[in-house]
């Protein structure tokens, strides 16, 4: 995976909501791949999305400490996230925001000497940052249906809007945090082998629509076979659509960088990373921070 990523010009991978295996980090160290790590969530995005308790906070801090002890000497780790999309915390509650600010400062004091950056809450619609080294945000607008919404949102985000940070008066924003679209994308279908894999019987929670089992029956029931012939031909068409959609999104992010540079010379932007999280790429628009100055910034993948 890392070899393929490097061939594409990618130099950073996001290890999303899991503790990275030591072998994974060893390979990253040896291959020169940068890694963005995250704390596993103590609450998923379905139920309860904002579960928070003293015990959860204690466990999160203990988990981070144990991860730091195990991974402290891996130079590949350059970014660390505390919370993803406010899973496990209710940012409307003052005490919970205070906890996040405090844990950010604590973690920063531990990993700062290692040259690592810290993200408090990797934000999406409905939540925000309080204090962070990277001002990132997640946004999914399907193409071409929502292309106008994507363009409007991206232009707004590039202008550093107020909605990316807390509006409760406790945000600690410098205005120089690198802007990052850390999740975006469009979905495609994989081709199916003759022998279906074991995980076809598994689902995503109780959502039957997300269970692969019966997909070929549904393909015929909805008469897609009259349009595409076979399921794998349908899969190819979705992948072609995904390709063109991602191409547009990546190029529009590059355009936003160029516009920012033209309109504000002091807005110094380094060349971005491309971060592949399964099938979802994201581009990082970043300023030079800490000892990352020495990193090579490849151009974004040219699709």
pLDDT of residue 191: 93
Residue 291 has pLDDT above 50, yes or no: no
Asked which of 41-45, 104-108, 243-247, 296-300 is least confident by mean pLDDT, the reply is: 296-300
Query: Is residue 279 very low, low, confident or very high in pLDDT (cuts 50, 70, 90)?
Result: very low
What would the pLDDT profile of 85-106 be if each residue is shown by its tens digit?
A: 999 899 999 999 999 999 999 9
pLDDT of residue 229: 97
Residue 77 has pLDDT above 60, yes or no: yes
Q: Is the pTM of this model over 0.85?
A: no
Query: Is residue 187 very low, low, confident or very high in pLDDT (cuts 50, 70, 90)?
Result: confident
Residue 274 has pLDDT above 50, yes or no: no
Q: Is the CB of residue 235 less than 8 Å from the CB of residue 189?
A: yes
Domain boundaries, the chain: 2-189+230-294, 198-228
Cα Rg of the chain, angstroms = 20
Helix axes 94-111, 54-71, angle to 10 degrees: 10
Looking at the DSSP assignment, which residues form a beta bridge with residue 212?
Answer: none
CATH T-level topology, domain 2-189+230-294: TIM Barrel (3.20.20)
Please, which residues have CB within 8 angstroms of residue 64's CB and are 6 or more apart in sequence? 39, 82, 107
Query: Is residue 285 very low, low, confident or very high in pLDDT (cuts 50, 70, 90)?
Result: very low
* Percentage with pLDDT > 90 across the chain: 66
What would the pLDDT profile of 200-234 be if each residue is shown by its tens digit?
A: 888 777 777 778 888 999 999 999 999 999 999 99
Query: Is residue 50 very low, low, confident or very high in pLDDT (cuts 50, 70, 90)?
Result: low
Please, which residues have CB within 8 angstroms of residue 177's CB and are 6 or more apart in sequence? 132, 133, 134, 135
Residue 23 has pLDDT above 60, yes or no: yes
Query: Is residue 281 very low, low, confident or very high in pLDDT (cuts 50, 70, 90)?
Result: very low
Q: What is the average per-residue pLDDT within 250-256?
A: 90
Residue 253 has pLDDT above 60, yes or no: yes
């Amino acid at each position: 995976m890392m070899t393929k990523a490097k061939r594409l010009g990618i130099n950073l991978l996001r290890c999303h909501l899991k503790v990275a295996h030591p072998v994974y980090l060893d390979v990253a160290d040896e291959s020169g791949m940068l890694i963005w790590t995250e704390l596993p969530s103590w609450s998923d995005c379905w139920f309860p999305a904002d579960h928070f308790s003293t015990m959860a906070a204690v466990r999160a801090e203990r988990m981070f400490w144990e991860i730091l002890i195990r991974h402290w000497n891996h130079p590949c780790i350059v970014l660390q996230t505390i919370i993803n999309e406010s899973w496990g915390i209710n940012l409307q509650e003052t005490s919970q925001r205070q906890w996040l600010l405090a844990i950010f400062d604590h973690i920063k004091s531990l990993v700062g000497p290692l040259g690592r950056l810290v993200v408090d809450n990797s934000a999406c619609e409905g939540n925000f940052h309080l204090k962070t080294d990277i001002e990132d945000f997640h946004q999914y607008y399907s193409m071409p249906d929502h292309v106008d919404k994507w363009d409007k949102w991206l232009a707004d985000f590039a202008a550093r809007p107020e909605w990316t940070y807390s509006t409760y008066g406790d945000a600690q924003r410098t205005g120089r945090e690198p802007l990052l679209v850390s999740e975006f994308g469009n979905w495609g279908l994989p081709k199916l082998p003759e022998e279906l894999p074991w995980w076809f019987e598994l689902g995503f929670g109780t959502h039957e629509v997300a269970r692969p089992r019966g997909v070929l029956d549904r393909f015929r029931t909805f008469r897609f076979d009259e349009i595409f012939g076979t399921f794998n031909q349908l899969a190819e068409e979705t992948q072609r659509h995904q390709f063109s959609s991602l191409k547009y999104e990546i190029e529009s992010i590059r355009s936003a960088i160029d516009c920012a540079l033209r309109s504000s010379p002091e807005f110094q932007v380094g060349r971005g990373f491309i971060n592949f999280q399964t099938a979802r790429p994201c581009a990082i628009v970043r300023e030079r921070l800490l000892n990352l100055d020495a990193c090579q910034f490849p151009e974004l993948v040219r699709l």
